[in-house]
Amino acid sequence: MVNGGVHSAPEPDRSEASETGRDKSRATVITPDCSPTNIVDVPWPRVSVVIPAMNEARNLPHVFALIPHTVYEVILVDGRSVDNTVAVARELRPDVQVVTQNRTGKGNALACGFAAATGDIIAMIDGDGSADPGEIPAFVRALLNGTDFAKGTRSGDGGGSEDLTRLRRTGNRVLSALFNACYKTRYSDLCYGYNVFWRRCLPVLHLDSTTLVSDDEDGRLWGDGFEIEALIHIRIAKSGLKVTEVPSFERSRIHGVSNLNAIRDGMRVLRTILTERRRIRHPDGGATVSESVLSDNDGSRAGPVIGMKDRNSDLIFNSDQSRS
């Protein structure tokens, strides 16, 4: 709906599908105990894929080609790219929703993308080709089996990485061990950013997608940078939500140079772990990281997202944004 230049996401429907958190349409999906070539026809929830991207025009064709056709919507969050990232995305997928982030950093991009999502499930995918969108069904199955949050891990059977240096691997192990000690979890791969979760979990994350900051404030708020994954896991742990790790294989970036800096970003993660630990004590039980059990999979939806239109995007968030 468009009123006076303001774009609103469609109102959630009140049908049985909305109330149960399942889309009643039939979709071809992979079952838990079969190979990718052995598929069946079963009900499937609506999955919103959120892709933060800045100057990823050359990588998007590889990423979009692997997105399962059962995905409900794709949201590209543009970090004000200077190449033709947005044009390429729209050429590859005309139904893509393009959102321009209102601050800087990956964390802010994800917050804006999450706020725009209307599906039952949200999947976080990097735009550099390192994460395989074809793994999304495995994460969704974990949610359907009763978990609240499916976290990717490069450890275990089916997991691995082409891009994990010795320094990053060591730092990840140290940070994972510290995180587990602080928040009573058992994560095997804290710093891997492939995550899929029920959209109803968004209030637990407390991510700000509306506040604007001036240039002299460095253009960022707490959690706007690469520390976003650690911040999300901390708040999930504090909430006591059920987490399941899903093996995932990380590829090397296809084109371009990563903005990741092992020392700088590792220190950000360390600071996040310690700062959040001091702010609010975690619940006695911590988060449960284990195999899934059945749940009711409540599909409650957030209200419509409102923002100002931008010539290069479908939605750009601002401080006047409201959500019902």
State the Cα–Cα distance between residues 57 and 59, nearest whole angstrom.
6
pLDDT exceeds cutoff 50 at 108: yes
Average pLDDT of the chain is 76
State the Cα–Cα distance between residues 110 and 189, nearest whole angstrom.
20
pLDDT tens digits for 5-63? 333 333 333 333 333 333 433 333 333 333 333 334 457 899 999 999 999 999 999 99
- Across the range 198-221, mean pLDDT stands at 84
The β-bridge partners of 43 are: 26
Q: How far does Cα 57 stand from its chain's mean position? A: 20
pLDDT tens digits for 137-188? 999 999 999 999 999 998 878 887 886 678 878 888 999 999 999 999 999 9
State the Cα–Cα distance between residues 132 and 51, nearest whole angstrom.
12
Burial grade of 250 (CB within 10 A; 0-12, 13-18, 19 or more): buried
Q: Which helix (H) or strand (E) holds 277?
A: helix 262-279
State the Cα–Cα distance between residues 322 and 139, nearest whole angstrom.
31
Least confident window among 6-20, 82-96, 130-144, 215-229: 6-20
Spatial contact of 210 and 321, defined as CB atoms under 8 Å apart: yes
Cα 26 to Cα 42, 65, 95, 121, 211: the distances in Å are 6, 22, 20, 17, 39
pLDDT tens digits for 59-69? 999 999 999 99
Closest CA to 133 of 141, 142, 124: 124
Percent of the chain with pLDDT over 70: 69
State the Cα–Cα distance between residues 291 and 51, nearest whole angstrom.
27
State the Cα–Cα distance between residues 169 and 164, nearest whole angstrom.
6
State the Cα–Cα distance between residues 2 and 84, nearest whole angstrom.
26
